[in-house]
Amino acid sequence: MENIVLANASHGGFDGGASAADGTVEKDINLFIAQKLCSILRFNGYNVIMTRDTDTGTEDDESASIAKRKKSDLSNRLQIMKQHPEAIFVSVHLNKFTTSAANGAQVFYTKNYKQAYDLANSIQSSIKMLIQPENTRVVKQGTSSTYLLKNASVPAIIVECGFLSNKQELEKLKNDDYQSQIAFAIVVGIMDFYELRS
Ligand SMILES: [Zn+2]
C-alpha cells in the first residue's frame, strides 16, 4: 500500500504567521522546511501532497476580509484531509514565546486518532536523537483552539520546529542546512511510524 503524506506549510500569502525581531516571517521558513520534507519523502517512495508549494494562502476569495480569508484557508486545508482519508497530515509551524530562552522542537497531535499520538512520538524522538539531544520537550495534545487538529479527519500532527523568539534558534532556522536536517528528522519519524504500524 502506498503511504500518503499531506505536507502542510502553515500560513502563507496574506497570513505570515509569527515573525521574528529581525523581520523573518514564519510562513517562509515553514515553506522551505515543507518543501525539503516533500523532496525527501518522495525520494523514499512516499506519495506527498502539499497544501501549498508557493507563498500563497489557500483561501477562495482573496478580496474578502482577513478573518474570512483565514477561515477559508483553514477549511480548505481541512478539505484536503477529507479528500485523503488514508493519509497522515504533517503540519510545519514555528513557535514564538515571550521568554527568549524558550527553544527546541515540540510535536502536537490531534486527539481524534490514536495513531496521531504515535506519529507525534516518533517524530519527537527522531528530532531529539538526530539534532536536539538536549531537548526535553514531550509531545502534547493540541488544544481545541488549534482548528486543524481539533477537526482532523486523518491522523494529524503539528511540528513546532523551533522558536523565532530565541536568537540562536532563529539563526539555525534561517539556515538552509538546518532546515534540511529538521526535514530529514521528521522523515525518519514518519518512517519509524509506518514501520511500527505495519
Ligand atoms: Zn504558525
Q: Are 159 and 107 in contact (CB under 8 A)?
A: yes
CA 147 to ligand 1 center in whole angstroms: 12
CA 26 to ligand 1 center in whole angstroms: 7
- The string of pLDDT tens digits covering residues 158-179 is 999 999 999 999 999 999 999 9
Q: What pLDDT does residue 1 have?
A: 62
Instruction: Name the class of domain 4-197.
Output: alpha beta
Domains of the chain by residue range: 4-197
Residue 192 CB: number of other CB atoms within 10 A?
Answer: 17
Determine whether 195 is exposed, middle or buried from the number of CB atoms within 10 Å of its CB (0-12, 13-18, 19+). exposed
- The string of pLDDT tens digits covering residues 33-71 is 999 999 999 999 999 999 999 999 999 999 999 999 999
- Of the chain, the percentage scoring pLDDT greater than 70 comes to 99
CA 14 to ligand 1 center in whole angstroms: 13
CA 107 to ligand 1 center in whole angstroms: 13
Q: Which three cell numbers stand for residue 112?
A: 481524534
Crossing angle between the packed helical segments 176-197 and 114-130, to the nearest 10 degrees: 130
CA 16 to ligand 1 center in whole angstroms: 8
pTM beyond 0.85: the answer is: yes
- The string of pLDDT tens digits covering residues 105-155 is 999 999 999 999 999 999 999 999 999 999 999 999 998 889 999 999 999
CA 91 to ligand 1 center in whole angstroms: 9
